[in-house]
Amino acid sequence: MTTKESACEVPSESTRCPNCLMPVHAVTLNRDGMSCSYCTPDDFRQAITAGETFIPNNNTGWSIDDIKNLRKQSGGKYDCLVGLTGGRDSTFILYYVKKILNLNPLAVNFSSPFQSEEAKHNMRDATSRLGVDFESYSIDSAFFNKLVKGFFIKHGEFCSPCHKGHHFTLAKFASEHGIRVIIRGISSKIDLNKADPKYFSYFCQSEDEFNERVKQMADEFGITHEELERNKKLTHIQSWKDQSVLTIDLPDLMDWGYDEIQTVLENEFDWRYPKGQFFHCDCVMNPTLCYTEFTKHGYSEKQIVISNLLASKDIPLEKGKELLSLEEMTTVPPNIEDILKYLDVDRPTFDRTVDRFWKSQASH
């Protein structure tokens, strides 16, 4: 059975799946009414991985034992490269690679104006305590700001420039240090909408799509030919990246859970997160993204993360309810004035853009 309601209404306890808390307008409840199509496992959803787009992973054929053996294969200073954001998953992955797998990683970070102060602290703290070398990279600020504003006004999203910068940073430092394996903290168990794999399709799904969008918006947002030439390596990663360098999304090769991650973060680090951003605490823009997602779908990526944890029995129901009440962004975020400055738009432009790309498409 299904229940229909406006996707923009805040689901109540009675209009959620009793098992995983997904809103019932987005799923199909099973006959007993105690679970749904989202939290009932099937082979199709289990086969999907979050790292299939933009820069795909090379997980196929790899195991944790293979990762352990990287030390025997490496001829340089570093056994691998770990992408670090200062969030939960990447911080835990860095710990796991260093302390459990006994590898010597280089930690790298794409630094954007959107990074939270807590994330910056977490990265400094984790790399220092673990004795891991740390490199950071940022795009030319004028060029980056034009990209972010253009992507928001023309496409309603501001994440693709950061995604591009993150992937470039991984490829850049792997190339410079001769590192053969890039390890990411992307987790299909957490980061994927298992009922709707196209949920995040509003982000660029390929390098070609990214560059086509940039080409179309260049004149309107003052992106010059000189800027494009100066940043050509960033916009055309696939033309120079060594295709033999592997990208592994380590969480998909592991058995790990909420409690294990949290225990490590609390016992090994001075790990911090902004209020209301326990998940995806590394980006001050994330609440705004979640707000726009909520206006369209009636739930955001925070709901997806929490429902995935519930479906896999990683957290109890009461913990899921607590996290949802703290994190789901159903109204305009309280830091909206800062967001307007980051996007370089006024409030009417922000509201019109949300109406155009998100609210006007809300399903029923």
Q: Who wins on pLDDT, 192 or 156?
A: 156
pLDDT, residue 3, reads: 38
pLDDT, residue 361, reads: 53
pLDDT at 225 over 90: yes
Q: Which domains does the chain have, with CATH numbers?
A: 53-253 (3.40.50.620)
pLDDT, tens digit, 9 for 90 and up, residues 272-308: 999 888 888 999 999 999 999 999 999 999 999 999 9
- Percent of the chain, pLDDT > 70? 92
Contact 113, 165 (CB under 8 A): no
pLDDT, residue 194, reads: 83
Nearest-angstrom CA–CA distance, 109 and 85: 6
pLDDT, tens digit, 9 for 90 and up, residues 192-213: 888 888 899 999 989 999 999 9
pLDDT, residue 74, reads: 67
Contact 92, 232 (CB under 8 A): no
pLDDT, residue 153, reads: 98
- Of the candidates 92, 86, 83, which has an alpha carbon nearest to the alpha carbon of residue 261? 92
3-class secondary structure per residue, the chain: CCCCCCCCCCCCHHHECCCCCCEHHHCCECCCCCCECCCCCCHHHHHCCHHHCCCCCCCCCCCHHHHHCHHHHCCCCCCEEEECCCCHHHHHHHHHHHHHCCCCEEEEEECCCCECHHHHHHHHHHHHHHCCEEEEECCCHHHHHHHHHHHHHHHCCCCHHHHHHHHHHHHHHHHHHCCCEEEECCCHHHHCCCCCCCCCCCCCCCHHHHHHHHHHHCCCCCCCHHHHHHCHHHHCHHHCCCCCCEEEEHHHHCCCCHHHHHHHHHHHCCCCCCCCCCCCCCECCHHHHHHHHHHHHCCCHHHHHHHHHHHCCCCCHHHHHHHHHHHCCCCCCCCHHHHHHHHCCCHHHHHHHHHHHCHHHCCC
Under the banding of pLDDT at 50, 70 and 90, the label for residue 255 is confident
pLDDT at 44 over 80: no
Nearest-angstrom CA–CA distance, 46 and 236: 32
Reading the block at residue 200, the tokens are 């995040």
pLDDT, tens digit, 9 for 90 and up, residues 122-149: 999 999 999 999 999 999 999 999 999 9
pLDDT at 269 over 80: yes
Phi, psi of 242 (to 5 degrees): -65, 115
Q: Are strands 105-110 and 246-249 parallel, antiparallel or unpaired?
A: unpaired
pLDDT, tens digit, 9 for 90 and up, residues 312-355: 899 999 999 999 999 999 999 999 999 999 999 999 999 999 99
pLDDT at 259 over 70: yes
Mean model confidence pLDDT for the chain: 90
All residues at 6 or more sequence positions from 235 whose CB lies less than 8 Å from its CB, including other chains = 164, 207, 210, 211, 214, 228
- Percent of the chain, pLDDT > 90? 77
- Half-sphere exposure (CA, 13 Å, Cβ side) for 320? 23
Q: What is the mean pLDDT of residues 63-70?
A: 91
pLDDT, residue 362, reads: 45
Contact 261, 92 (CB under 8 A): yes
pLDDT, residue 14, reads: 83
pLDDT at 364 over 50: no
pLDDT at 12 over 80: no
pLDDT at 6 over 50: no
